[in-house]
Amino acid sequence: MDCQSFYASVEKADYPQYKDRPLIVAGDPKRRSGIVLAACPIAKRYGVTTAENVGTALAKCPELVVMRPRMEKYIHVSLQITEIMRQFTDLVEPYSIDEQHLDVTGSLSLFGDPDTLARIIQTEISNKTGVRCRFGISYNKAVSKMACDNFAKKNADGIYLLPQEKLQDVLWPLPIRKLLMVGSRMERHLLNMGLSTIGRLANTPVQRLKARFGVNGEVLWRLANGIDPSPVNPNSHQGVKSIGHEMTLPRDYYSFETIAIPLLELTELVCRRCRDKGFMGSVVSISCRGADFDRPTGFSRQLKLSDPTNVTNQVYEAVMALFRKYWDDLPVRKVGVTLSGLVSDDTYQLTLFDERPKYQALERATDEIKRKYGDSAILRAVSLTASGQARDRAGKIGGHYR
């Protein structure tokens, strides 16, 4: 199941006066976040696309209605859609905020064939949320997603059934870029090997693909052949292997001192999330990305700690050690910090001159203040400088307005 122009559909449901007008949901045009996050079908007919600059979109369609994103609202509607689908099957697995997998095998005796059931769910979601959903139907998760992306989204009724016996006739003739998990870079590699269609990849010896791409070669071969044994698992996202956060900066940062500030803010956020979930991490990872997407610069490195921790100062020390060692002195656009190797924080090894208890008491107090009064209630002084982003991001979810 995929929601059509999800953010834009939610806005049109809340503001019916815009029902017949071209509408986009976009970030602040004054900042780097001023890009199109979602465009309704009417806007797309003018050539407006997601991820393009708001100014470019307005040039294509001057009468565009530009809505600021409301992430809390979108999350609420996404959860509402999940609950609607759970009325028809208990096997619902979220894939993203606007996509979900459903296994309806056990529900067909109650609701009819898959096509009929999809229409029932589609109508129920539309009536209760105003959001139109598309359904790709097949015998496993990977093929059903490709059926949705490549066919259901183009059908007037938003439903497409792809049985296993028609896989070669329907899926194999498609261009290789239509295969799940094939992006622009992988497409170039595959085209250089002469693999221009999904069928050609499916009929390539798997050992040749593994020799070129490693385990990913076999994954691609399996997807092209419609092989995906993974079940629909409602609990697939409950296991936490790492906790991290990334931030796209509002402008290019050039100096060590300015980049260090958002890295500190990210470290504090990641450590706070670890403390909230009862984890400590033993592996610190940081990433920095440059300002030019056509000629990408930056790095991604990690460091193993001697002992697991969730204390901001200890993690930040490792973050800065990595940054000093690997930063190439080029402008930075995006930074990220992650803690992995997670263990429970109920026990840890003390050392002779360990100041951890003092810092833990301090951070428990600041965490409680933020829980009670909001993330911007107490900030580090550096966050009030021009390079700090914590105060601005306190009113956002995932970098977008609530």
- Tens-place pLDDT, residues 193-221: 999 999 999 999 999 999 999 999 999 99
Residue 51, pLDDT > 70, answer yes
What integer best gives the mean pLDDT of the chain? Answer: 90
pLDDT in tens, 111-124: 989 999 999 999 99
Domain ranges of the chain: 2-69, 71-236, 242-401
Q: Which residues contact 328 (CB under 8 A, 6 or more apart)?
A: 297, 298, 299
The predicted structure's pLDDT at residue 359? 84
The predicted structure's pLDDT at residue 389? 84
- Identified catalytic residue from 93, 99, 265, 268: 99
Residue 360, pLDDT > 90, answer no
- CA-to-CA distance for 11 and 130, rounded, in angstroms? 9
- CA-to-CA distance for 93 and 103, rounded, in angstroms? 9
Q: Which two tokens stand for residue 245?
A: 């956060």
The predicted structure's pLDDT at residue 297? 82
How far from chain centre, in Å, is Cα 217? 23
pLDDT in tens, 20-47: 999 999 976 555 457 899 999 999 999 9
- CA-to-CA distance for 150 and 154, rounded, in angstroms? 7
Q: How confident is the model at residue 377 (pLDDT cuts 50, 70, 90)?
A: confident
**What is the architecture of the domain spanning 242-401?**
2-Layer Sandwich (3.30)
How many other C-beta atoms can be found within 10 angstroms of the C-beta atom of residue 108? 13
What's the burial of 194, exposed, middle or buried (CB within 10 Å: 0-12/13-18/19+)? exposed
Residue 401, pLDDT > 80, answer no
Residue 293, pLDDT > 90, answer no
% of the chain exceeding 90 in pLDDT: 68
Instruction: Give binding residues as ranges.
Output: 2, 98
The predicted structure's pLDDT at residue 302? 93
For 310-359, strand residue ranges (E) read 332-340, 343-344
CATH code of domain 2-69: 3.40.1170.60
Residue 402, pLDDT > 60, answer no
H/E element, 284? strand 279-289
Q: Fill in the amino acid letter for 197.
A: T
Q: Tell which residue, 98, 104, 62, has the closest CA to residue 79.
A: 98
Say whether 99 is catalytic: yes
The predicted structure's pLDDT at residue 398? 59
Q: How confident is the model at residue 321 (pLDDT cuts 50, 70, 90)?
A: very high
Give me the CATH topology for the region 71-236. Answer: DNA polymerase; domain 1 (1.10.150)
What's the burial of 378, exposed, middle or buried (CB within 10 Å: 0-12/13-18/19+)? middle
pLDDT in tens, 145-179: 999 999 999 999 999 999 999 999 999 999 999 99
Instruction: Give binding residues for Mg(2+) as ranges.
Output: 2, 98
Range 129-133 average pLDDT: 95
Instruction: Evaluate if pTM is beyond 0.85.
Output: no
